[in-house]
Homo-oligomer: A and B are copies of this chain.
Amino acid sequence: MERALLIGRYQPFHNGHLKAVQEIVGEGFSVVIAVGSAQLSHTLENPFTAGERHLMIANALEDEGIQNYEIIPIIDINRYAIWVAHVESLVPPIKVVFSNNPLTTRLFSEKKYEVRAQQLYDRDIYSGTVVRQRIISGENWQELVPDAVVKVIDDIDGVKRITELVE
């Protein structure tokens, strides 16, 4: 089974991410979920550690019965000219990249990868930014993420972590 690469920060993993994974798996790929900026955590933009994000994704996909996936943390190297080589050295061989990010698209295209646009699902709400904003403002963020993600965030007391960082 060929592998497709899906890169994101997953801060946190939300329903839009889940649908993207389902779509890619539905096309017959095993999906390599690269957790970008793996070194970041405890900021408003990047509240969760790579390990916490790993757990969110693994539990959400288990609930959905999805098995053809791998989760791999990718620490930033802050040098885009060698970033694709960095990713290549950490993941098993991939056939295609799914992305809507222009930089990711550009970098993998320059290295002759096939990059496919990822279908977007109500991007105005299924977005990490929106989820984090709702957590801060006390709105319903739970409806935007899989139940397993709600549970992980609760277990690590994640709402308090984020709201404390707001001051």
Copy tally for this chain in the complex stands at: 6
Q: Once the chains are docked, how many angstroms separate the CA of A65 from the CA of B79?
A: 33
Q: A80 contacts which of B42, B52, B67, B167 (Cβ < 8 Å)? A: B42
Judging by beta carbons under 8 Å apart, are B79 and A89 in contact? yes
Q: Once the chains are docked, how many angstroms separate the CA of A50 from the CA of B81?
A: 10
Most interface-central of A67, A78, A79, A91 (chain B CB within 10 A) = A79
Judging by beta carbons under 8 Å apart, are A106 and B51 in contact? no
**Size of interface on A: residues with Cβ below 8 Å to B:** 43
Among the listed stretches A68-76, A120-128, A133-141, A142-150, which one makes contact with chain B, having 4 or more residues with CB under 8 Å of it? Answer: A68-76
Distance in Å: Cβ of A95 to nearest Cβ of chain B: 13
